[in-house]
Amino acid sequence: MSEAASASVSATGLSGEIRRRRTFAIISHPDAGKTTLTERILRAGGAIQLAGNVRAKGERRRTKSDWMGIERDRGISVVTSVMTFEYGGCVFNLLDTPGHEDFSEDTYRTLTAVDCAVMVIDAAKGIEDRTRKLFEICRLRDIPIVTFINKMDREAQDCFGLLDEIASTLALDTAPATWPIGRAAHFAGTYDLRTREIRGEAAAFPQSEPRMIALSEDLELVEAALPQFDRDSFDAGHLTPVFFGSAMKEIGVTDLLDALVAYGPAPRAQPSEHREVRAEEEQVTALIFKIQANMDPNHRDRMAFARICSGRLTRGMRLKHVRTGKQFALHTPQFFFARDRQLAEEAFAGDVVGLPNHGTLRIGDTLSEQEELRFTGVPHFAPEILRRVRLDDAMKAKKLRQALVELAEEGVVQLFRPQDGLSPIVGVVGTLQLDVLQSRLKGEYGVAIGFESTPFTIARWVTGERTRVETFSLANRSAMADDLDGDPVFLASSAFMMRRMVEMNPELGFHDIKQIGLSN
C-alpha cells in the first residue's frame, strides 16, 4: 500500500473510506441512450478524454464500456462493464449493464452488487417494457433509483406527463431536481430547482426570452404540484429525484454526478443466509457476481468480479472460499476500466475488483476472511429457449466441452448435459444469446458450431429426497439432464407435460429459479 493511501486510511478510518464509495448501475430500455450517458459520465468524471457513442463513426465510435467485438459491431451492450474512477471526493464503481432483454440474467446479477441505479428514460418514448422490468428487479431489492430523462434535445413528451407516467406506471414518487429550458432544437439548458441556478446557454438569456417565460410558468406548477426530494424516501426506494438533459450534448450529466456524490447511498448491508453483513464490519467478505473470460485474448484469462461487501481488502491476503472450504490467495486483485485494468493494492466495501480465476470461482460464490457465510439473492432463471449444440468439426469435441463450461460459468448461456449421453443442450433467454455464443466460440476458441432444435421447451430444476430424485431420473432418463453444478434438471416437451409431471410427483419440487451456490 502506498504512503498516500496509508495516510488516507489512517486519517479517515475504515468507515470514512467506505462512506466515499458509490457503486451504481445504469439501466434502461435499449436505445434510450444508456451507453452514451455512461461515456459522458466517464468523461465528466475525468476518466476518459474522448467520449464515444454507439451511433458515431470512426474514433468516436470506440466506446470504453462496449469493448467486445460483437458489441461494437451491433451497437449494443451484451456484457456488464465495470469502471472505477474518482470524482468529487468519492470513488465510483460504475456498472454498465446490458440493455437488451436477452441478457436479463447478467443485468439481474449485476443489480445484486450495486447500492443504487440510474434509470435512463427516452424523453420521447417514456416508460418502455424493458425499463419496467428492470425497475421491478430494483424494487425487489429496494435499490434507490435516480432518474435521468434523456434526449431533451429531440422531440419529447410533455415533462409533466413524463413525471406522471413514472409515478403511475412504476408507483414511484418523482421529485424533479432540474427542469429543462426549451425543447427539441430549442433545448438550451437546465434550471436547478435546488440551487436556483441556470446551466447551459440559457444562462445568458434575458427574462423576456420566450423559453424563460415558459420556464417561469412551469416552475410555478412544479413547486405547487410535485413533492420535494426526501432522503429517507429515496433511500427506501419510494422516491426518485429526476434530472432532465441530453447525454449526446453533455447537458445534465454533471448535475447527475454531483447528485450521486451528495446523496448517492454509501455501501449498504448485504443479505446472507443467516444475517445481514454490514459494510463497516472489519472482517472482509466478498460476493462473486460475474465471471468474464478472454478479456485479454492474448492470455486467455478468466476474471471473477467481486463486490467487496465488508471490510478492507488488501493485496496478498487470503480469504476462505466458502463453497469449497479452501483458501483463496489475492495475489493480483485489479480495478477495471472496462477492459483496461490496474493493480489494486487495497479496496474497501462497495468496491468492485477483478480476481484472476482459473475456474475455481463461480457466480454466487462467497469469499470470507473468517466467518462461514453465504450471500444470497443471486439466481439462475429457467431458460426460455433450448437448443442442442451441433459441432461442425468432430476433432474439436474436447475443446468445445471446455469452451461451453467456461462460457456457462461466465453466464453467457446455461449448459445442460443430457443424462442419456446425447450432445449438450444450451438454454438461453433470447436468440441473441445464441448469436453471442456462436460468435465467441468461433472468435475466442476457434470452434464453429450450429444449433439444432430439441423436443424440449421447458427446463425445471428437480429437488427432493435423494433416492426419490434418483428414481425419477432413471424413469425419465431421456428427459433428464445435469446442469453445470451437477444438479438434476427435467426437460419437458410442453407446459401440459410439465403440469402432468408435477401432479404425478407431489413429493418432488420443480423449480424455475435456482439460487446459485445454495441447495434448492
The DSSP secondary-structure symbol of 246 reads: B
3-state SS, residue 251: strand
**Does residue 153 have a known ligand-binding role?**
yes
Please name every residue paired with 451 in a beta bridge, in sequence order, or none if there are none.
389
Region for residue 38 given its phi and psi (left: phi exceeds 0; alpha: psi -120 to 50; beta: otherwise): alpha
**Does residue 96 have a known ligand-binding role?**
yes
Cell of 459: 427446463
**Does residue 34 have a known ligand-binding role?**
yes
Q: Find all residues with CB under 8 Å of 513, minimum gap 6, and list them.
A: 379, 380, 381, 382
Alpha helices, DSSP H only, in 123-190? 129-140, 159-170
**Does residue 6 have a known ligand-binding role?**
no
**Does residue 46 have a known ligand-binding role?**
no
**Does residue 151 have a known ligand-binding role?**
yes
- CA distance linking residue 304 with residue 362, whole number of Å: 8
**Does residue 52 have a known ligand-binding role?**
no
**Does residue 28 have a known ligand-binding role?**
yes
* CB-neighbour burial class of residue 2 (10 A; exposed 0-12, middle 13-18, buried 19+): exposed
**Does residue 152 have a known ligand-binding role?**
yes
- CA distance linking residue 52 with residue 13, whole number of Å: 38
**Does residue 98 have a known ligand-binding role?**
yes
The DSSP secondary-structure symbol of 191 reads: E
**Does residue 380 have a known ligand-binding role?**
no
Is the Cβ–Cβ distance between 490 and 510 less than 8 Å? yes
**Does residue 358 have a known ligand-binding role?**
no
- Nearest by Cα to 305 from 130, 113, 154: 113
**Does residue 295 have a known ligand-binding role?**
no
Q: What is the 3-state secondary structure (H, E, C) of 79-133?
A: CCEEEEEEECCEEEEEEECCCCHHHHHHHHHHHCCCCEEEEEEECCCECCHHHHH
Region for residue 215 given its phi and psi (left: phi exceeds 0; alpha: psi -120 to 50; beta: otherwise): alpha
**Does residue 115 have a known ligand-binding role?**
no
**Does residue 31 have a known ligand-binding role?**
yes
Region for residue 33 given its phi and psi (left: phi exceeds 0; alpha: psi -120 to 50; beta: otherwise): left
Annotated binding site for GTP: 28-35, 96-100, 150-153
Annotated binding site: 28-35, 96-100, 150-153
